[in-house]
Amino acid sequence: MTQNSTILRPKIALYEPDIPQNTAAIIRTCACLGVKLEIIEPCGFLLSDKRFKRVVMDYMDWDKIDIYQSSQKFFEAKKNQRIILMTTKASVSYTKFKFEKNDTILFGRESAGVPESVHQLINDRLKIPMSEDTRSLNIASSVAIILAESLRQTKLI
């Protein structure tokens, strides 16, 4: 699939990811759906990690990945853009939300989500409804679900 670079598209942001295989799988999803990935450091692994390389395969395209050295730099760069936080602590389901073409959809760290200070910076917080006896979906699965819905709503797929 080729994408016109002038078309606004959503972006996926990962807050301090700590599992290399998940980040690699998300890179592949973003590459296949023509979406930029943004990584907020520090990561809990090196991009040279063999577990990361095995999953990412040949989908690593540095032109489609932005790295932010800190959450402060990320939020400074996004000050005039809408950020949506995906969190199990939200009360609003993603199915009740209207996505826009240029949204940045932020996912927390696999082991700890995002700190309360980040929650307070973001107005739009969404969840994926799940069975009550479960804790959370794998982040790569969550990204695929939300990205597909965002692209469907905005008619980008």
Domain of 55, CATH number, reads 3.40.1280.10
Range of the domain at 32: 11-153
Confidence band of 139 (pLDDT split at 50, 70, 90): very high
Cα–Cα distance, 29 to 22 (Å, whole number): 11
Does 5 map to a domain?
no
How many CB atoms sit inside 10 A of residue 105's CB?
A: 25
Q: Are 4 and 31 in contact (CB under 8 A)?
A: no
pLDDT of residue 34: 93
Does 6 map to a domain?
no
List pLDDT tens digits, range 12-34: 999 999 998 999 999 999 999 99
pLDDT of residue 60: 74
pLDDT of residue 140: 96
pLDDT at 7 over 70: no
* Segment 60-72 mean pLDDT: 87
pLDDT at 150 over 70: yes
Please give the structure tokens belonging to residue 153: 């709503």
Does 23 map to a domain?
yes
Cα–Cα distance, 145 to 66 (Å, whole number): 22
pLDDT at 4 over 70: no
Does 3 map to a domain?
no
pLDDT at 41 over 60: yes
How far is C-alpha 73 from the geometric centre of its chain's CA atoms? Answer: 17
Does 142 map to a domain?
yes
Query: Pairing relation of β-strands 65-68 and 36-40?
Result: parallel
Does 98 map to a domain?
yes
pLDDT at 35 over 50: yes
Does 130 map to a domain?
yes
Cα–Cα distance, 106 to 151 (Å, whole number): 15
pLDDT of residue 5: 45
Global pTM value:
0.91
Considering its fold, how many domains does the chain have in total? 1
Average pLDDT, the chain: 90
pLDDT of residue 58: 75
